[in-house]
Amino acid sequence: MDKFIFTAMNTVNNIYDNRSVRAQNMSNISVPGYRRDLGTKTTGSAFLNVMNGFQSRAFALKDNNNTFESAPGQLSQTNEAMDIAIRGDGYFFVKGPGDVSLTRRGDLSVDADGFLVNGTKAKILDVALNPIQVPANRSITFSENGEIIIEPVGAEAGTRVNVGQLAMTSAIDVQLKKFPDGEIRAANGEVPEIDQSPRIIQHNVELSNVNITEELVNSIEDQRQYEINIKLISTAQELDEGTSSLMRLPN
């Protein structure tokens, strides 16, 4: 009976974690390039050992590696020159407050210091993994392979200057995970190889790959599972009390 109760309690705890993940997904549904979280992965069970007792209390073990849905989101045409998206698989390299990370977010702008940044103010990196500076310009073009071509302010009309190339990777055969800061990196901490195989489309931005309908349906299922397991705990208590009453000596 003890194991029965603790199994139900462990399930309730997992449901609680799932609800947090779903809430996180739904709160980021409007964030360009956001990757849907799938939660932490269960890797087995652990048992509490009691001296001269049974191993009756079991809990799920988790590897603490947050997995995410890598499928691309839909593209939305914005007609903004600074909006770019990757067609199919692939990632941009960026540098925020933490280590170098990967992102699909392509709502770009130029900050006060002239650096190319995305919507989170993370600096976009070039093929040498250095931040890209973009001079004042009349127009800007991003080629399919990530080259950045501008028409500088003050130059003759039609002048084209290459100011850098976006670093990209397809991250093939690389295990990726989300770190505590919410950024995507290789699970082993290494920077994936730059291969420039992804293709870019300008004047478009990739939307989040969160499916709001699926998240709501799963939330309803989580609530039902929660209620079932709470009922199981209550039933186990009633059975335990009934068994205890049978063992009492008559007065």
Instruction: Show the tokens assigned to 112.
Output: 């006060």
* Separation CA 107–CA 43 (nearest Å): 37
Per DSSP, what are the bridge partners of residue 148? 142, 164
CA distances from 33 to 48, 78, 104, 165, 242 (A): 42, 14, 5, 20, 56
pLDDT per position as a tens digit, 110-127: 999 999 999 999 999 999
pLDDT score at 233: 76
pTM of the predicted protein model: 0.78
Tokens of 186: 């290789």
Take residue 250 and report the two structure tokens written for it: 């008559």
Going by pLDDT thresholds of 50, 70 and 90, the confidence category of residue 137 is very high
The 3-state DSSP composition of the chain as helix, strand, coil percent (nearest 5) reads 25, 35, 40
Mean pLDDT of 207-228: 87
138 SS3 class: strand
